[in-house]
């Protein structure tokens, strides 16, 4: 009897004092401050983290393309684009998915920047600052009949990124690329079915924080166009690690770094770095791990492929 009363008292004290889940600090440099985009985009059933490219043809109605942003908890979102003439701020509630459509005909390419400021629940005595999640969507408007492939890369300032362009040719392909005041013309080596384009062939040293390159190359009898969206982040920034995922019957347990404040599976959110969820292996899922500095790890689960991790 005494033991039962003591346990009941412990539960009551835990509930009233210290066992309520709290947001956790993250000592990492904030993602937005480091130029590391982490906003979660959704376009035509595809999930992307931080950067995404959308293709349109000149004269097409802009409202034929839409993109969505996943909100975390409740908070505020800002969307800006000078060339697309967008300046929009609004509140969102309860992990809302926000969908945006443009208006008018597609005339020129434009970059849309998104800043998502969640309001994670804090204790009154917590002084933890919550930083935004930022991201960028590039609307690539091409001439009628031209079709482009879009590629995105996040790379550290001191790392020479390499873009792999799928080709049918052997040996090399001839390419022309321009952007950020740089211009390149010449052969690209082909290895294992991919033409290799190095960032150092375009800009050196890596002074700009971000660049969008437009390119074309000749692959046999075909002329192929592409865009390469490159965001260079601070070498002090450390991306979030892939979590440990354990399967337990019809549930999964997700264990992230101790700096993780929230874990989400689909529309379920838990304020913790170690969470359990019901899990159906026969259907797709989206898993998210979030920190107060705007770092995130997104896992996309497909029954036929397993997990694909985006960070």
Predicted local confidence at residue 293, as pLDDT: 97
Percent of the chain with pLDDT over 70: 91
Residue 19 lies in a domain: no
Q: Are residues 296 and 266 in the same domain?
A: yes
Q: Are residues 136 and 220 in the same domain?
A: no
Q: Are residues 182 and 228 in the same domain?
A: yes
pLDDT at 6 over 50: no
pLDDT band of residue 19 (cuts 50, 70, 90) is very low
CB 35 within 8 A of CB 210: yes
Residue 304 lies in a domain: yes
pLDDT at 214 over 70: yes
DSSP assignment, residue 170? S
Measured between its terminal Cα atoms, the distance across the chain in Å is: 52
DSSP assignment, residue 200? G
Residue 28 lies in a domain: no
Domain boundary among 233, 256, 291: 233
Which whole number is the average pLDDT over 65-86?
Answer: 90
Strands (E) across 7-161 are located at 40-43, 46-49, 51-57, 66-70, 75-81, 86-92, 97-101, 110-118, 133-142, 148-156
pLDDT at 169 over 90: yes
Q: Are residues 63 and 85 in the same domain?
A: yes
Residue 35 lies in a domain: no
SS3 83: coil
Predicted local confidence at residue 13, as pLDDT: 39
Count how many domains the chain has: 3
- Residue 197's domain spans which residues? 158-233
Predicted local confidence at residue 118, as pLDDT: 95
Predicted local confidence at residue 146, as pLDDT: 82
Predicted local confidence at residue 18, as pLDDT: 38
Residue 9 lies in a domain: no
Predicted local confidence at residue 37, as pLDDT: 97
Domain boundary among 93, 109, 142: 142
Q: Mind listing the pLDDT tens digit for each residue in 140-158?
A: 988 887 888 999 999 998 8
- Taking alpha carbons only, the member of 279, 260, 274, 283 closest to residue 72 is 260
CB 84 within 8 A of CB 139: yes
* Least confident interval from 28-32, 79-83, 207-211, 302-306: 207-211
Predicted local confidence at residue 208, as pLDDT: 65
pLDDT at 200 over 80: yes
Pairing of strands 268-270, 262-265: antiparallel
Question: What distances in angstroms separate CA 63 from CA 56, 99, 126, 179, 236, one per listed residue?
Answer: 11, 11, 43, 27, 40
Q: Are residues 137 and 165 in the same domain?
A: no
Tokens, residue 42:
């959704």
Which whole number is the average pLDDT over 176-196?
Answer: 94
Distance CA 258, CA 297 (A): 14
Question: What distances in angstroms separate CA 55 from CA 67, 137, 140, 151, one per listed residue?
Answer: 12, 11, 5, 11
Question: What distances in angstroms separate CA 86 from CA 36, 50, 80, 100, one per listed residue?
Answer: 22, 19, 5, 11
Tokens, residue 12:
């009551």
Q: Are residues 84 and 134 in the same domain?
A: yes
Query: Domain with 220 in it: what CATH number?
Result: 2.60.40
Residue 117 lies in a domain: yes
Q: Are residues 130 and 219 in the same domain?
A: no
pLDDT at 121 over 70: yes
Distance CA 9, CA 51 (A): 51
Q: Are residues 180 and 126 in the same domain?
A: no
pLDDT band of residue 10 (cuts 50, 70, 90) is very low
Q: Are residues 129 and 171 in the same domain?
A: no
Residue 1 lies in a domain: no
Q: Are residues 129 and 60 in the same domain?
A: yes
Pairing of strands 194-198, 97-101: unpaired
Tokens, residue 179:
């952007």
CB 21 within 8 A of CB 273: no
Q: Are residues 134 and 197 in the same domain?
A: no
What is the value of pTM for the model shown? 0.88
Residue 166 lies in a domain: yes
Q: CA torsion angle for 154, 157, 160, 161 (degrees, to 10)?
A: 10
pLDDT at 174 over 80: yes
Q: Are residues 281 and 301 in the same domain?
A: yes
Domain boundary among 208, 233, 258: 233
């Amino acid at each position: 009897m005494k033991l039962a009363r003591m346990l009941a008292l412990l539960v009551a004290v835990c509930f009233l004092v210290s066992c309520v889940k709290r947001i956790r600090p993250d000592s990492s440099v904030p993602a937005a401050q480091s130029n590391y985009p982490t906003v979660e985009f959704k376009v035509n059933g595809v999930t992307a983290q931080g950067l995404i490219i959308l293709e349109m043809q000149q004269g097409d109605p802009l409202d034929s393309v839409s993109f969505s942003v996943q909100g975390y908890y409740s908070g505020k979102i800002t969307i800006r684009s000078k060339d697309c003439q967008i300046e929009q701020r609004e509140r969102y509630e309860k992990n809302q998915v926000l969908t945006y459509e443009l208006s008018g005909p597609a005339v020129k390419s434009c970059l849309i920047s998104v800043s998502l400021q969640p309001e994670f629940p804090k204790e009154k005595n917590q002084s933890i600052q919550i930083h935004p999640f930022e991201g960028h969507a590039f609307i690539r408007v091409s001439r009628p009949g031209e079709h482009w492939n879009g590629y995105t890369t996040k790379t550290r300032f001191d790392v020479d990124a390499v873009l792999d362009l799928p080709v049918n040719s052997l040996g090399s392909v001839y390419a022309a690329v321009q952007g950020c005041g740089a211009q390149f013309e010449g052969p690209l080596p082909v290895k294992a079915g991919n033409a290799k384009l190095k960032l150092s062939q375009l800009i050196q040293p890596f002074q700009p924080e971000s660049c969008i390159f437009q390119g074309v190359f000749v692959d046999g009898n075909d002329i192929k166009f592409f865009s390469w969206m490159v965001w260079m982040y601070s070498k002090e920034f450390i991306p979030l690690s892939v979590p440990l995922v354990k399967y337990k019957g019809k549930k999964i347990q997700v264990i992230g770094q101790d700096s993780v404040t929230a874990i989400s599976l689909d529309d379920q959110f838990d304020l913790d770095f170690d969470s359990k969820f019901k899990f159906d292996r026969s259907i797709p899922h989206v898993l998210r791990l979030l920190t107060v500095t705007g770092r995130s790890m997104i896992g996309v689960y497909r029954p036929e492929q397993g997990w694909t991790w985006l960070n």
